[in-house]
Amino acid sequence: MLSVSCPVTRGTGLNSFLMSKIKLPDGSNLHPIVEQILLNRGISDPVDLCRFLSPKLSELPVPFLLKDMDIAVGLICESLVVGKNFLIWGDYDVDGTTATALLVKFFSLLNKEVTYHIPNRLSDGYGLQKDSLARITEGLNPKETVLITVDNGISAHQAVDYARSIGYTVVVTDHHTPPDSRVHAHAVINPNQNDCPFPDKDLAGVGVAFYLTMGVRAGLLERDYFTDQEIPNLKALLDLVAVGTVADMVQLGKVNRILVKAGLEVIADGGNQGLTALCRKANLDTGLIRSEDISFQLAPKINAAGRLGNAGKAVELFLASSKKDANILANSLLVDNEKRRFITLDNYANAEHEVKATEKRDVLTTVVVAGNYHVGVAGIVASKLVESYLKPSVVLCDVGDGLLKGSARSVPGVDLYKVLHDCRDVLLGFGGHPMAGGMSIKSNNVNMFKLLFETAVKSQEVQTKKSTEGEFDIEVEVGELFKGIILRQLHMMEPFGQGNPQPIFCDRQSSFSELSQVGKDKDHLRFVITQKQSRVQGVAFGFGHDFDKCRNNLHREILYTPSINFFRGKRSWQVRVVGIGY
């Protein structure tokens, strides 16, 4: 049997009150199944429930709650008035590329062309770097240029000092955990600064960049800047905010939920040629993009270019002005993603071999591998190690000259940034946030780092065992759940992600028919579940090895969630199985 537990109990009282009082926008009552899921997540007040299901942009906190926003807005507005130039310095992941494209688009709405730069992950390294900036500056006049970082810069002390020394006005926008000493930019916008009063600390880098556009537009309105031109519609930029925020796996609290919910609506409008082309290449319905589509389909393809060295290709996709260019760039990303996939498989196999050869691996609370790994996929391999071993994991890549660069991923309850901070004496540099980080280190310090990393994780005294295995929200048979009203209301709970996970259901008596293995390596299952006069298509990703068990057992217990299949222009709901018991 599959190990499952159901912590929820059907109740009355408040349930009945909600059912009788709450009307959804389509006039229907909240269904008891959806109601119970919301109650389990602490959403019981009718007002909170309505705000959760129908968040509004008008409920966003004002941008000037962000520390230094007023300074940054003043600098940027005055620079626009006098005709200065702008250099946007981004990052090579989805958050960084969407944030870069967002600011380029915003300035274009102001009829202002800007220069942008995305570092090469393989040769430049992360974030704002002095050497790269010196090279870029050869074609610019720094005294007449405002340098704006997005999704990076909070730890770039040397580069920022250099930028200011040669004349740049520097505005840092970031969301990563700030170091102990503040970077010496003219303005630093980061909700995670200790003295920043902004109420939501979980903005992604693209979210911080969007808030900068909110502040700048407000500042320009005060200066009567738009007397001869149209006021920018900032909602049109939220498609990029949605993609970058979901891909970066930040908490989808109140602010991020509002931004992403609105952004998914903008994606449905199809205004961004590049995103639309990529959705079509990924066989996604642009009219109904879900957060899991971004996480599992769009984000890996967008990230692929940066992992292989040329993340600028992703920015070009977001900025594409014609269908032809968008299709060419989308195809290129798909090719890059296939290359990335093969590299990842090879690197993970090597990491698994190294872990199994590690002495005392069963008593260690961490996983650290070091050697001939590809810098571009180190984060993916670290994530896979976390999934396999349920321990904070680090992949260190030998880049030559006695230097290693690495990526780390954590488990819930272990603040990875604090861990790396405790290891700082043997690191050349580090950065990140509680769940992910990066570092560089000399090869002769690797063994000491492993010891310090293990000690730092243990010092947080957290339980790193997989405590969520087999848990689900509520027990409902597939035939009962797959009804139009329930599925529509579940969709209203989007976006799903950190802090608002996809609801998981349990069916103890499912039976599969028309079972087949699918995928290039036959590692997935396709099937049909027939129950209560309903016939529902299903898919189980990564369960191809269970084909014989599923074929030979008539009834089984499954954990599942509703998903959407888009095939030949037709949209249909399907079961996505996430656990199988026999």
Per-residue pLDDT 10s for the chain (582 aa) are 333 333 333 333 334 444 435 667 667 788 889 989 999 888 888 888 888 988 999 999 999 999 999 999 999 999 999 999 999 999 999 999 999 999 999 999 999 999 999 998 888 878 999 999 999 999 899 999 999 999 999 999 999 999 999 999 999 999 999 998 999 999 999 999 999 999 999 999 999 999 999 999 999 999 999 988 899 999 999 999 999 999 998 999 999 999 999 999 999 998 899 999 999 999 898 888 999 999 999 999 999 999 998 899 999 999 999 999 999 999 999 999 999 999 999 999 999 999 999 878 788 999 999 999 999 999 999 999 998 999 999 999 999 999 999 999 999 889 999 999 999 999 999 988 888 999 999 999 999 999 999 999 999 865 444 443 448 899 999 988 988 889 989 999 999 998 899 999 999 888 888 889 988 778 899 998 887 677 889 999 888 888 888 887 677 789 999 988 877 667 788 999 998 886
User: pLDDT value at position 485?
Assistant: 86
pLDDT of residue 412: 85
What pLDDT score does 552 carry? 74
How far from the centroid of its chain's Cα atoms is residue 488's Cα? 24
- Do 220 and 80 meet the contact criterion of CB atoms below 8 Å apart? yes
CA dist 570 and 575 (Å) reads 16
Q: Which long-range contacts (CB under 8 A, 24 or more apart) does 327-333 make?
A: 327/277, 327/281, 329/274, 329/277, 330/274, 330/277, 330/278, 330/280, 330/281, 331/281, 332/305, 333/278, 333/301, 333/302, 333/304, 333/305
Q: Residue 287's pLDDT is what?
A: 86
- What pLDDT score does 16 carry? 41
Structural domains of the chain ordered from first start: 63-332 (3.90.1640.30), 358-459 (3.10.310.30), 471-581 (2.40.50.460)
The Cα–Cα gap between 318 and 236 comes to 13
Nearest CA among 200, 189, 178 for reference residue 256 = 200
> What is the residue whose two structure tokens read 């005060």?
222
The pLDDT of residue 520 is 79
Q: Residue 26: what pLDDT?
A: 67
Cross-strand bridge partners of residue 145: 85
Q: What is the 3-state secondary structure (H, E, C) of 349-390?
A: HHHHHHHHCCCCCCCCCCEEEEECCCHHHHHHHHHHHHHHHC
**From CA 335, how far away is CA 329, in angstroms rounded?**
10
- Tell which residue, 412, 340, 410, 413, has the closest CA to residue 377: 340
